[in-house]
Amino acid sequence: MTKNQRNAYIALLAAQAVIISLFENAIPFPFGIAPGAKLGLANVITCMALYTLATKDTIKVVSLRLILATLLGGTLSTFMYSAAGIVLSFIGMWLVKKLGPDRISLIGVSATGAILHNIGQLIIASWIAQTWTVLLYLPVLSFVGILAGIAIGVMANYLLTHVEKLQYYQKVKETNEKVHGW
Amino acid sequence: MRSCFRMIKRWDLIIVAILILISFLPIALFSAVQAKTATNPAASRVAVITQDNKVIKKIQLTENKRTYQFVIHSGDGDEDTVEVQKSRIRVKSATCPDQVCVLTGFIDQPGETIVCLPYHLVIEIQSDNEPPQDIIVSS
């Protein structure tokens, strides 16, 4: 992959993530049981980036997505929520993926991302409200998050196995990792 | 469908189970703390309403027999209607988009909270842990 190809690919992923999250904001969530719960469709892009790009470039995708999504449809407080969620979930997903493809599949990675996103947001919420009882809401969100995470893991797996370019990028990444250690 | 099941690996299950356990951790801690400070039922309960970390109202809930409601304004036409019904309290309606505070419903146990994040409003029930003063033994 040349440098330009990689830059274009990073920009493409970030743009897709922004569009997906804007689109998702427009869908009123039908679940009355868990207000505040979201599908987290943009997580597909983070999974994609984790599996096809180097860690450095994945961080670029994630931070571009965070900044652009805030500029296009957010406020300072939504920025804090999503920043905490995204940073925590990215760290978690990265660590979990380090277990290797023999041990963990995309389902586990994306479920981790979904739950840690919730945890990050609730920590910020409890910090803003100055009461940690907000965290008691966590089990409901995690339950929905796990279901959504599994669905998104399956989706990302389909994309990775059926889109030719993604498979190619994944192979490039794997050979790079073999050459440069990790 | 079968391919979905086949892609699940052992560590997926382990990780998901760990995460579910972690998400129950706050509840476990909370109930442990509650059990330690076992509030005696005679202690009086006070609903403390705070906004932007400033206490704006304290409502005595024990021995309250009335039902009434009042409105808390937080600028920009944002309103929360709070209802006190005997010894319990709830947010009856709010102009916020997510309505989490309204869906929480009535609370009456010490430690329970209603949180309205958009308006930075927190209603928390506290118990005055002073021993009841009315036990006067006369001989």
The confidence band for A62, taking pLDDT boundaries of 50, 70 and 90, is very high
Chain B interface, mutation test: which of A89, A102, A107, most B Cβ atoms within 10 Å? A107
How far apart CA A88 and CA A117 sit, in angstroms, is 6
Domain map (residue ranges) of chain B:
2-36, 45-127
Query: B33 — contact with chain A (CB < 8 Å)?
Result: no
Task: Choose, out of A96, A133, A162, the residue to mutate when testing the contact with B (most B CBs < 10 Å).
Answer: A133
Please tell me the distance in Å from B111's CA to the nearest CA on chain A.
8
pLDDT per residue as tens digits for the range A64-119: 999 998 898 778 888 888 899 999 999 999 999 888 878 888 888 999 999 999 88
pLDDT above 70: residue A9:
yes
pLDDT digits (tens, 9 = 90+) for B34-84: 776 655 555 677 888 888 878 888 888 777 778 888 888 877 778 888 888
Q: Could you tell me the pLDDT band of residue B1, with boundaries at 50, 70 and 90?
A: low
> In the prediction, which pLDDT does B124 show?
85
User: Residue B132 carries which DSSP code?
Assistant: P
Chain A CA closest to residue B52: A129
**CATH entry 3.40.50.880 includes domain B45-127:** no
Task: State how far residue B95 is from chain A, nearest Cα, in angstroms.
Answer: 15
Q: Which residues of A touch B52 (CB under 8 A)?
A: none
Measured CA distances, B84 to B91, B119, B121 (Å): 9, 19, 16
Q: What is the CATH number of the domain that holds A26?
A: 1.10.1760.20
Choose among B19, B98, B111: nearest Cβ to A112.
B19
Confidence at residue A81, expressed as pLDDT on a 0 to 100 scale: 85
Question: d(Cα B49, Cα B59) in Å, to the nearest integer?
Answer: 8
Exposure class string for A51-66: b at 16+ Cβ within 10 A, else e: bbbbeebbebbbebbb
Closest Cα in chain A, distance from residue B134 (Å): 32
Check residue B131 and give its pLDDT: 47
Question: Predicted ipTM?
Answer: 0.71
Please state the domain count of chain A: 1
Q: Is it the case that residue A57 has pLDDT exceeding 70?
A: yes
Residues 6+ apart with CB under 8 A from B5: none
Question: Minimal Cα–Cα distance from A77 to chain B, Å?
Answer: 9
For residue B113, give the nearest of A35, A105, A133 by CB distance: A133
B111 vs A contacts (CB less than 8 Å): 133
pLDDT tens digits along B77-115: 788 888 888 778 888 888 877 777 888 888 877 778 888
What's the domain range around A41?
3-180
- Confidence (pLDDT) at A137: 78
Interface A–B counts its CB contacts (< 8 A) at: 92
Distances, alpha carbon B67 to alpha carbons A182, B61, B63, B82, in Å: 66, 11, 12, 11
Cross-chain Cβ contact A142/B19 below 8 Å: yes
Residue A64: what pLDDT? 93
| Half-sphere CA count of B15, side-chain side, radius 13 A | 29
Test A103 with B10 for CB contact under 8 angstroms. yes
Nearest CA distance, A52 vs chain B (angstrom): 18
